[in-house]
Amino acid sequence: MVQRRENRRQADSALKEHAQRIIRLLETAYPDAQCALHFTTPLELLVATILSAQCTDERVNQVTRSLFTKYRCAADYANAPLAELEQDIRPTGFYRNKAKTLQACCRKLLQDYGGQVPKDMDALVQLPGVGRKTANVVLGVAYGIPSGIVVDTHVSRLSRRLGLTQHEQAEKIEQDLLALVPQEEWIDFGHRLIHHGRRICTARKPKCSQCPLGELCPRIGVP
Protein backbone atom coordinates (compact mmCIF):
# COMPACT_ATOMS: atom_id res chain seq x y z
CA MET A 1 0.00 0.00 0.00
CA VAL A 2 2.82 2.42 0.89
CA GLN A 3 4.63 1.63 -2.34
CA ARG A 4 1.42 2.12 -4.31
CA ARG A 5 0.92 5.57 -2.79
CA GLU A 6 4.52 6.48 -3.55
CA ASN A 7 4.14 5.35 -7.16
CA ARG A 8 0.99 7.43 -7.48
CA ARG A 9 2.72 10.45 -5.98
CA GLN A 10 5.58 10.13 -8.45
CA ALA A 11 3.17 9.73 -11.36
CA ASP A 12 1.21 12.81 -10.30
CA SER A 13 4.42 14.80 -9.95
CA ALA A 14 5.61 13.72 -13.40
CA LEU A 15 2.25 14.65 -14.95
CA LYS A 16 2.35 18.10 -13.37
CA GLU A 17 5.85 18.66 -14.72
CA HIS A 18 4.65 17.49 -18.14
CA ALA A 19 1.82 20.02 -17.94
CA GLN A 20 4.20 22.81 -16.91
CA ARG A 21 6.41 22.14 -19.93
CA ILE A 22 3.36 22.28 -22.18
CA ILE A 23 2.26 25.58 -20.61
CA ARG A 24 5.70 27.12 -21.17
CA LEU A 25 5.94 25.97 -24.78
CA LEU A 26 2.45 27.20 -25.61
CA GLU A 27 3.25 30.57 -24.07
CA THR A 28 6.30 30.85 -26.30
CA ALA A 29 4.42 29.73 -29.42
CA TYR A 30 1.26 31.79 -28.86
CA PRO A 31 2.10 34.74 -26.58
CA ASP A 32 -0.79 36.87 -27.83
CA ALA A 33 -3.50 34.22 -28.19
CA GLN A 34 -6.97 35.48 -27.35
CA CYS A 35 -10.63 34.78 -27.97
CA ALA A 36 -11.41 34.75 -31.71
CA LEU A 37 -14.95 36.06 -31.25
CA HIS A 38 -15.40 39.81 -31.82
CA PHE A 39 -17.22 41.78 -29.12
CA THR A 40 -17.20 45.06 -27.23
CA THR A 41 -19.45 44.24 -24.25
CA PRO A 42 -20.09 41.19 -22.05
CA LEU A 43 -23.55 40.84 -23.61
CA GLU A 44 -22.07 40.78 -27.11
CA LEU A 45 -19.62 38.07 -26.06
CA LEU A 46 -22.42 36.05 -24.47
CA VAL A 47 -24.51 36.29 -27.64
CA ALA A 48 -21.55 35.43 -29.87
CA THR A 49 -20.66 32.42 -27.76
CA ILE A 50 -24.21 31.09 -27.90
CA LEU A 51 -24.21 31.56 -31.67
CA SER A 52 -20.86 29.75 -31.99
CA ALA A 53 -22.40 26.36 -31.16
CA GLN A 54 -21.94 24.14 -34.22
CA CYS A 55 -20.59 27.14 -36.12
CA THR A 56 -17.16 28.60 -36.83
CA ASP A 57 -16.01 31.74 -35.06
CA GLU A 58 -15.35 33.31 -38.45
CA ARG A 59 -18.96 32.86 -39.51
CA VAL A 60 -20.22 34.15 -36.18
CA ASN A 61 -18.07 37.28 -36.55
CA GLN A 62 -19.54 37.87 -40.00
CA VAL A 63 -23.07 37.69 -38.58
CA THR A 64 -22.45 39.74 -35.45
CA ARG A 65 -20.90 42.59 -37.42
CA SER A 66 -24.40 43.75 -38.34
CA LEU A 67 -26.25 42.00 -35.51
CA PHE A 68 -24.53 44.06 -32.81
CA THR A 69 -25.43 47.25 -34.63
CA LYS A 70 -29.09 46.32 -34.67
CA TYR A 71 -29.35 44.73 -31.21
CA ARG A 72 -27.58 46.88 -28.65
CA CYS A 73 -28.98 45.62 -25.35
CA ALA A 74 -30.76 42.65 -23.80
CA ALA A 75 -34.16 44.30 -24.33
CA ASP A 76 -33.55 44.47 -28.08
CA TYR A 77 -33.18 40.70 -28.26
CA ALA A 78 -35.97 40.02 -25.79
CA ASN A 79 -38.51 42.19 -27.62
CA ALA A 80 -37.57 41.44 -31.23
CA PRO A 81 -40.06 39.55 -33.42
CA LEU A 82 -38.82 35.97 -33.25
CA ALA A 83 -38.99 35.42 -37.01
CA GLU A 84 -36.89 38.54 -37.59
CA LEU A 85 -34.24 37.47 -35.08
CA GLU A 86 -34.15 34.04 -36.70
CA GLN A 87 -33.34 35.55 -40.08
CA ASP A 88 -30.71 37.85 -38.59
CA ILE A 89 -28.76 34.88 -37.21
CA ARG A 90 -29.67 32.31 -39.85
CA PRO A 91 -26.13 31.89 -41.29
CA THR A 92 -24.91 30.50 -37.93
CA GLY A 93 -27.07 27.39 -38.29
CA PHE A 94 -29.73 25.97 -35.97
CA TYR A 95 -31.07 29.51 -36.08
CA ARG A 96 -34.57 28.72 -34.81
CA ASN A 97 -33.32 27.15 -31.60
CA LYS A 98 -30.62 29.78 -31.18
CA ALA A 99 -33.12 32.62 -31.60
CA LYS A 100 -35.40 31.14 -28.94
CA THR A 101 -32.43 30.63 -26.64
CA LEU A 102 -31.20 34.20 -27.11
CA GLN A 103 -34.62 35.62 -26.32
CA ALA A 104 -35.08 33.43 -23.25
CA CYS A 105 -31.57 34.27 -22.04
CA CYS A 106 -32.03 38.02 -22.50
CA ARG A 107 -35.45 37.99 -20.87
CA LYS A 108 -33.93 36.38 -17.79
CA LEU A 109 -31.13 38.94 -17.84
CA LEU A 110 -33.77 41.69 -17.83
CA GLN A 111 -35.85 40.02 -15.16
CA ASP A 112 -33.08 39.10 -12.73
CA TYR A 113 -30.08 41.29 -13.52
CA GLY A 114 -31.35 44.52 -15.02
CA GLY A 115 -30.16 43.45 -18.45
CA GLN A 116 -26.56 43.07 -17.31
CA VAL A 117 -24.49 39.89 -17.67
CA PRO A 118 -23.63 38.63 -14.16
CA LYS A 119 -20.03 38.03 -13.06
CA ASP A 120 -20.87 34.81 -11.25
CA MET A 121 -20.60 31.23 -12.48
CA ASP A 122 -23.66 29.99 -10.60
CA ALA A 123 -25.77 32.83 -11.99
CA LEU A 124 -24.51 32.42 -15.54
CA VAL A 125 -25.22 28.71 -15.81
CA GLN A 126 -28.82 29.39 -14.80
CA LEU A 127 -29.32 31.41 -17.97
CA PRO A 128 -30.97 29.58 -20.89
CA GLY A 129 -28.36 28.31 -23.34
CA VAL A 130 -25.44 28.86 -20.97
CA GLY A 131 -23.38 25.92 -19.76
CA ARG A 132 -20.06 25.90 -17.97
CA LYS A 133 -18.07 26.32 -21.19
CA THR A 134 -19.96 29.48 -22.20
CA ALA A 135 -19.79 30.81 -18.64
CA ASN A 136 -16.01 30.28 -18.58
CA VAL A 137 -15.68 32.19 -21.86
CA VAL A 138 -17.69 35.14 -20.58
CA LEU A 139 -16.04 35.29 -17.17
CA GLY A 140 -12.52 34.81 -18.48
CA VAL A 141 -12.64 36.95 -21.62
CA ALA A 142 -15.13 39.70 -20.75
CA TYR A 143 -14.35 40.04 -17.05
CA GLY A 144 -10.86 38.57 -16.66
CA ILE A 145 -12.10 36.17 -13.98
CA PRO A 146 -10.32 32.77 -14.03
CA SER A 147 -13.37 30.66 -13.22
CA GLY A 148 -12.12 27.58 -15.04
CA ILE A 149 -10.72 26.39 -18.36
CA VAL A 150 -12.80 26.51 -21.52
CA VAL A 151 -13.12 22.98 -22.90
CA ASP A 152 -14.20 23.09 -26.53
CA THR A 153 -13.56 20.44 -29.18
CA HIS A 154 -9.94 21.57 -29.62
CA VAL A 155 -9.11 21.56 -25.91
CA SER A 156 -10.83 18.21 -25.50
CA ARG A 157 -8.88 16.63 -28.37
CA LEU A 158 -5.50 18.09 -27.45
CA SER A 159 -5.81 17.32 -23.75
CA ARG A 160 -6.14 13.63 -24.57
CA ARG A 161 -3.43 13.64 -27.23
CA LEU A 162 -1.02 15.32 -24.84
CA GLY A 163 -1.77 12.85 -22.08
CA LEU A 164 -3.30 15.42 -19.73
CA THR A 165 -6.55 13.47 -19.38
CA GLN A 166 -8.11 10.17 -20.32
CA HIS A 167 -11.65 11.48 -20.14
CA GLU A 168 -13.96 12.44 -23.00
CA GLN A 169 -16.60 14.39 -21.05
CA ALA A 170 -15.90 18.12 -20.98
CA GLU A 171 -16.53 18.59 -17.25
CA LYS A 172 -14.17 15.74 -16.31
CA ILE A 173 -11.53 17.01 -18.72
CA GLU A 174 -11.77 20.45 -17.15
CA GLN A 175 -11.35 19.04 -13.66
CA ASP A 176 -8.19 17.19 -14.74
CA LEU A 177 -6.79 20.37 -16.30
CA LEU A 178 -7.63 22.52 -13.29
CA ALA A 179 -5.55 20.18 -11.14
CA LEU A 180 -2.56 20.55 -13.47
CA VAL A 181 -2.66 24.19 -14.59
CA PRO A 182 -2.07 27.05 -12.11
CA GLN A 183 -5.14 29.29 -11.74
CA GLU A 184 -3.34 32.33 -13.08
CA GLU A 185 -2.81 30.40 -16.34
CA TRP A 186 -6.38 29.11 -16.78
CA ILE A 187 -7.57 31.81 -19.19
CA ASP A 188 -4.45 32.01 -21.38
CA PHE A 189 -3.93 28.25 -21.40
CA GLY A 190 -7.37 27.69 -22.90
CA HIS A 191 -6.82 30.31 -25.62
CA ARG A 192 -3.39 28.93 -26.50
CA LEU A 193 -4.54 25.33 -26.67
CA ILE A 194 -7.44 26.36 -28.94
CA HIS A 195 -5.06 28.26 -31.24
CA HIS A 196 -2.74 25.26 -31.35
CA GLY A 197 -5.64 22.98 -32.21
CA ARG A 198 -6.71 25.20 -35.08
CA ARG A 199 -3.27 25.83 -36.55
CA ILE A 200 -1.23 22.69 -35.89
CA CYS A 201 -2.91 19.87 -33.96
CA THR A 202 -5.94 19.53 -36.20
CA ALA A 203 -8.41 16.69 -35.90
CA ARG A 204 -7.69 14.71 -39.07
CA LYS A 205 -4.21 15.67 -40.22
CA PRO A 206 -2.17 17.12 -37.36
CA LYS A 207 1.04 18.82 -38.48
CA CYS A 208 3.27 16.94 -36.06
CA SER A 209 6.45 17.87 -37.95
CA GLN A 210 5.71 21.56 -37.28
CA CYS A 211 4.54 21.15 -33.69
CA PRO A 212 6.36 23.10 -30.96
CA LEU A 213 5.22 20.40 -28.52
CA GLY A 214 6.51 17.56 -30.67
CA GLU A 215 9.32 16.45 -28.39
CA LEU A 216 7.10 15.88 -25.40
CA CYS A 217 3.78 14.91 -27.01
CA PRO A 218 2.87 11.21 -26.62
CA ARG A 219 0.51 11.59 -29.63
CA ILE A 220 -2.22 9.55 -27.97
CA GLY A 221 -4.89 8.68 -30.52
CA VAL A 222 -3.19 10.60 -33.34
CA PRO A 223 -4.41 9.16 -36.67
Distance separating alpha carbons of residues 50 and 183, to the nearest angstrom? 25
pLDDT tens track for 85-142: 999 999 999 999 999 999 999 999 999 999 999 999 999 999 999 999 999 999 999 9
Among the listed residues 223, 221, 222, 215, the one whose alpha carbon sits nearest the alpha carbon of residue 18: 215
pLDDT tens track for 41-70: 999 999 999 999 999 999 999 999 999 999
- The type of residue at 5 is R
The CATH fold assigned to 42-142 is Endonuclease III; domain 1 (1.10.340)
Average pLDDT of every residue of the chain: 95
Q: Does residue 8 have a pLDDT over 80?
A: no
The CATH fold assigned to 149-223 is Endonuclease Iii, domain 2 (1.10.1670)
Q: What mean pLDDT is predicted for residues 60-87? A: 98
Domain ranges (residues) in the chain: 42-142, 149-223
Q: Does residue 3 have a pLDDT over 90?
A: no
CA angle, corner 61, sides to 40 and 134, nearest 5? 70
Distance separating alpha carbons of residues 15 and 130, to the nearest angstrom? 32
Q: Which residues of 5-24 are buried (b: 16+ CB within 10 A; e: fewer)?
A: eeeeeeeeeebeebbeebbe
| Residues marked as catalytic | 133, 152
pLDDT tens track for 177-208: 999 999 999 999 999 999 999 999 999 999 99
